[in-house]
Amino acid sequence: MSVPSWSGESIEEQVTTAIQTAIPESQVQVQSNGNHFEITVISALFEGKGLLEKQRMVYSAITPFMSGPNAPIHAVDRLKTLTSGTL
C-alpha cells in the first residue's frame, strides 16, 4: 500500500481527508508533533459500536499512512472516537 498523494495538502489534511472518505459526514481533528499524531473523530456511524470497532474504522482509513519505512505516521498517541451524544 502506498500513501495517497494530494498535492498541496499537509499530512494532517491528507489524514483528515482519508478519514472523512472512509467515515462519511464525520468531523475530524488531526494534530501532529512530527510523526506522532492525535486524532479525534466524531461520527453518527460510531453509534452502538464498541471502542475497538470504532478504532478499527479509523485505523483502516489511515493504514496507508502508517505502512512502509517512510511512513508519515509513526504512532497515534491519542485516538478519540465519539458520537455527538458523547461530547
- Per residue in 16-37, pLDDT (tens digit) is 999 999 999 999 999 999 899 9
Q: What is the pLDDT of residue 1?
A: 47
Q: What is the pLDDT of residue 85?
A: 76
Domains recognised in the chain with CATH numbers: 11-86 (3.30.300.90)
With H, G, I as helix, E, B as strand and everything else as coil, classify residue 22: helix
Interval 53-74 mean pLDDT: 95
- Per residue in 39-58, pLDDT (tens digit) is 999 999 999 999 999 999 99
Which residues on adjacent β-strands are paired with residue 29? Answer: 40
Evaluate whether 60 touches 19 at the Cβ level (below 8 Å): no
